[in-house]
Structure 1
Amino acid sequence: MTPEDTALTPWFHSDRLHFAVGIENTFVPQEDVGRRRLDEYELTQHYHQWRDDLILAKDAGADMIRWGIPWYLLEPAPGRFDFTWTDRVVEHLDRLGLRCVVDLMHYGTPLWLDNQFLNHRYPEAVAAYAGAVAERYAGSLDIWTPLNEPVVNAVYCGERGTWPPYLRGDDGFVKILTQLARGMVLTQRRITEVQPSATFVHVDAGFRWTGTWPPGEREHLEERRFLGLDLVLGRVDEAHPMRHHLAANGVTDAELDWFTANAVTPDVIGVNYYPAFTTAERDAGTGAVRSAEAGTAGLTDLLHRYAERYEQPLFLTETSRGGPVDERLAWLEESVDTVVRLRAEGMPLVGYTWFPFFALVDWLYRESAEPVDRWLVQMGLYDLERDAGSVLRRRATGLVDRFRALAAGTTHTSQERGQCQERGQ
């Protein structure tokens, strides 16, 4: 391959495994009685320490970063944009040579959008915002995630009533998910209009289930996890296993025909997986559902399911483990080993992301009255520690050097070490 060919090769078709980090960027700005604003950038002081945070990400060996834009601050009133802060961040990303996978929509909507995702203007509004961002940063930002984890979003906003607009049940889930999916379609189409060479990473939460479930429930959930992507890709035809469920909850044939006629396809599908959280287990005796440890077996299973269903390049867009540093370090080794092995077996895995880069604030903070430090979850390469001046200092853990070495290829994963030993190297 000539240098000219390499320059024209899309980033997701190169031979390298991209190493990324991600900065948690959930934004739920709506406040209510007993509910505080949840803005992870504000709570972790990223708005003030963004410059150093990006330098640390680059220094850790990442060549890519998942980073999100707070829509509610960028567009404080309909059609009025304030790019002051994002201009500086994007300029810094350019200077560092850190390629950004942009999270355009990470749960929260602007305060002016009544009823949030239910608002009839939402799909057009989110697409207009995305188009404005893509147009302004053409030449700097060209990898886009239209919306992070559509099914998780629909669960929190539409099924459990945890986040605005606080709907519940199957009806609420379907209402929210179809609005999100329509917004994703229009977002990708609008960005492509202003950036024809843009690439898209659609990021899904990788749910899994184990244990004994009531008849049909596990099968329903296993199909439902794919529903956001299937709608966007125009795959919900007459034979789709979720078609009847959508119809039973008010989705018309005309609406589903719209998705088929306007379908978009991402260049890469992102899969998020947490070894102690992604898999749900149901107790056969009590019926209680809890998170179950699934380790690398769960990761392997989930990636195979997405690879076989969509036949697209995959990016492990989130993985990490909370707890002591030695446990996090072990998961870094095990998960990278797994990705390397699956790539060697032919799976089109193009990237690995440790997410979050530093500690995040548990979403339960929003429903509590306790100080933010009570809700810090140390899952990152860096821990957050508050000093006497109330600054959340970024404290490097042993994961930083190891991540850097893995990203640089200067040390072998355990699988690669085994292969070298077999060759007598």
Structure 2
Amino acid sequence: MKSFLTDIKDRFGDGNYEGDQFGGAQGNNGNGLPTGLPNNFMFATGIECSYPTIDHGTTRRDMLAECDHYNRYKEDLGLVKEMGLKVLRYGLPYYKIQRGPGKYDWEFADLAMAEMQRLGITPILDLMHFGVPDWLGNFQNPELVVHFADYCEQVARRYPWVRYYTPVNEIYVTAKMSAKDGVWNEQLKSDKAFVTALKHCVAASIMGTQQIAKQRPDCVIVQSESAEFTHELRAEHTPAVQLENLLRFTSLDLLYAHHPEGEALNYLYDNGLTRREYDWFMAGEPPGYQVMGNDYYGRNERIMLPNGEIVTSMDVLGWYSITREYYQRYKKPVMHTETNVFEAKEGPTWLWKQWVNILQMRKEGVPVLGFTWYSLIDQIDWDKGLATKTGTVNACGLYDLDRKPRPVADAYKMLLQEYGQITIVPHGELFEVTDRPATLKVEV
């Protein structure tokens, strides 16, 4: 009996059929460097821009200064382009720009933003990164909210071409390090101070987003937050550790109007959150297209031994498992917004491990918008959380402080060449990131 394949061969040839190039057997499999099309996965890096104060407000840690970015910003932005990257998490130095109510110094910001625009780099603009201007004091100041909202409005007006924002970076970490762990800024160590800092940062993010959305109704808000977890290796768990594993959600709970568990809510009420404030947070989500960015370092995941000793677990659950828990809670599109390791030789392996985590998340149908190796260049003193100024270089960048490539730069270039044109979700050419104003509430 004659096979149908015989007639197909006679009529259309032996494979390589005309038409297959349009997404068929000869279609693009997603490799090649990123193109920047609106359906493309967003491969990014970041420029470390933390600026908390230490020594009870007398010393400002400005990573843009300590890593010499102010002098070498053109070179640094050129390295982003040279990598083949289209997207950059970038933080303007808020503490240097807003000099007082209604007073701004845009000199450096204008230079850096103009160079980014010239190079065709899409910034995810980070507006508050672990610190505030001296005149605002610290995160205990309730006036921070309205003054930061004014700043956000001015930024959005001045750079109308910018669409992607992180209003307040890592809200939970900001509040914890400043007011619970006593390391930065107000350097307090109390539950009440922590809750005060937390609610002020979340409120600042919400009101800042309102002002951004007035200028850019299609704004995309990438809320970078630390993906935390503590494994308590005790037969009977202790309330304090279990509460901590709930409190890691509180920043996003308040931001996204998600009711916290009763234990966490009681903690917030016991430490200064009023019912009126809580009802305000629960009134609804901020405007714009909301993306949940999860930062993951091995040191975010900890193991508590039976004797109470804490050890770093490095990838027991990993970004995939921890972020999946966050995704199930909030049902937001996801981005891997920060990762690195401090040992240069371990960088390539860590990069590939993070990419495996992202591929696993994509297999489950979760929309993952992008990935970020953080940061472009090495950092300083992050092995001690910036707590003391010793000048220790952390070899976690794609490039060292002399702007010479680390091994992870070549690994990232290989990854970009292989996957650079994949879409956010499979068949994502059908579902491009729209430039229409955000209008819909999302219900699952």
TM class, shorter-length: 0.7 to 0.9
One-letter amino acid of the structure 1 residue matched with residue 68 of structure 2: Q
| SS of 1:400 mapped into structure 2 | helix
Selected match of 1:16 from 8, 18, 40: 40
Q: What is the CA–CA distance in structure 2 between the aligned matches of 1:125 and 1:31, rounded to whole Å?
A: 25
Give the distance between the partners of 2:395 and 2:172, measured in 1 at CA: 25
d(CA) in 1 for partners of 2:245 and 2:376?
29
CA deviation vs aligned residue, 1:320-356 (integer Å, no higher than 9, x gap): 111132x111111221122123213312111010001
Secondary structure at 1:409 match in 2: helix
> Which aligned pairs between 1:196-235 and structure 2 lie closer than 5 A?
196-212=217-233, 214-235=237-258
1:300 to 310, 313, 320: 320
Q: Which residue of the partner structure matches residue 347 of structure 2?
A: 328
Contact 1:38 1:365 in 2 (8 A): no
Aligned pair in 2 of structure 1 residues 408, 241: CA closer, same or farther (>3 Å)?
Answer: farther
Say if 1:207 and 1:278, in contact at 8 Å, map to a contact too.
Answer: yes
Tell me how far 1:366 sits from its aligned partner: 5.2
2:212 equivalent to 1:179: no
Q: 1:158/1:367 Cα in 2 relative to 1: closer, same or farther (>3 Å)?
A: closer
Match of 1:409 among 412, 418, 431: 418
One-letter code aligned to 1:253: R
Figure out how many residues of one structure are paired with residues of the other and give that number. 385
Residue identity opposite 2:381 in structure 1: D
1:343 aligns with 2:352: no
Aligned counterpart for 1:159 among listed residues 180, 205, 209: 180
> What secondary structure is seen at the aligned counterpart in 1 of 2:371?
strand
Structure 1 match to 2:376: 357
Query: 2-side partners of 1:182 and 1:369: how far apart?
Result: 31
Structure 2 SS opposite 1:41: helix
1:191/1:365 Cα in 2 relative to 1: closer, same or farther (>3 Å)?
closer
Q: Report percent identity of matched pairs.
A: 27
Q: Secondary structure at the match of 2:375?
A: coil
Q: Distance in 2 between matches of 1:248 and 1:341?
A: 40
In structure 2, the CA distance between the partners of 1:369 and 1:407, relative to structure 1 (3 Å rule), is closer
Contact 1:58 1:98 (C-alpha < 8 Å) held by counterparts: yes
1:242 Cα shift?
A: 1.7
Cα offset for 1:18?
1.4
In the alignment, what sits opposite 2:84? 61
Tell me how far apart the structure 2 counterparts of residues 406 and 13 of structure 1 sit (CA, whole Å): 18
Measured in 1, the distance between the counterparts of 2:56 and 2:323 equals 38
SS at match of 1:394: coil
Change (3 A) 1:410 1:110: closer
The change in CA–CA distance for 1:175 and 1:65 in structure 2 (over 3 A counts) is same
Letter in 1 for 2:49: N
Q: TM-score, normalised by structure 1?
A: 0.85
Question: Structure 1 144/12 Cα, relative in aligned 2: closer, same or farther at 3 Å?
Answer: farther
Corresponding position of 1:119:
141
d(CA) in 2 for partners of 1:248, 1:29 = 28
Q: Structure 1: how far apart are the matches of 2:275 and 2:49?
A: 35
Q: Give CA deviations for 1:346-378 in whole Å, capped at 9, x if unaligned.
A: 1211101000121111244855464x2xx1100
Counterpart position of 2:114: 91
Bigger relative contact order (CA 8 A; separation at least 6): 2
Q: What residue is the counterpart of 1:282 in the other structure?
A: 304
1:169 positional shift: 2.0
1:397 equivalent in structure 2: 406
Give per-residue Cα distances to partners, 1:268-291, cap 9 Å, x unaligned. Answer: 11000012x111111212x12232
* Shift, 1:58, TM fit: 1.4
TM-score, with normalisation over the residues of structure 2? Answer: 0.81
Distance (Å, rounded) in 1 between the aligned partners of 2:172 and 2:385: 21
Query: Residue 342 of structure 2 aligns to which amino acid in structure 1?
Result: G
Q: Deviations over 1:36-82 (max 9, x none)?
A: 32000000000101111011011112111101011111112321111
Structure 2: which 5+ residue stretches go unaligned? 1-21, 23-34, 423-444
396-405 or 345-354, which moves further after superposition?
Answer: 396-405
Instruction: Please point out which of 94, 101, 126 is paired with 1:103.
Output: 126
Deviation digits for residues 113-161 of structure 1 (CA, Å, limit 9, x no counterpart): 13x111121100111111100111002x111101111111111111012
Larger radius of gyration: 2
Cα 1:106–1:412 change in 2 (3 A) is: closer
- Of the candidates 50, 54, 58, which is equivalent to residue 26 of structure 1? 50
- Structure-1 residue corresponding to 2:65: 42
Whole-angstrom distance in 1 between the partners of 2:295 and 2:38 = 22
What is the rounded CA distance, in whole Å, between the counterparts of 1:303 and 1:404 in structure 2? 25
Taking the aligned partners of 1:293 and 1:30, their CA distance within structure 2 comes to 28
Q: Distance in 1 between matches of 2:126 and 2:229?
A: 24
Instruction: After TM superposition, give the deviation of residue 262 of structure 1 in Å.
Output: 5.1
Greater CA drift, 45-54 or 158-167: 158-167
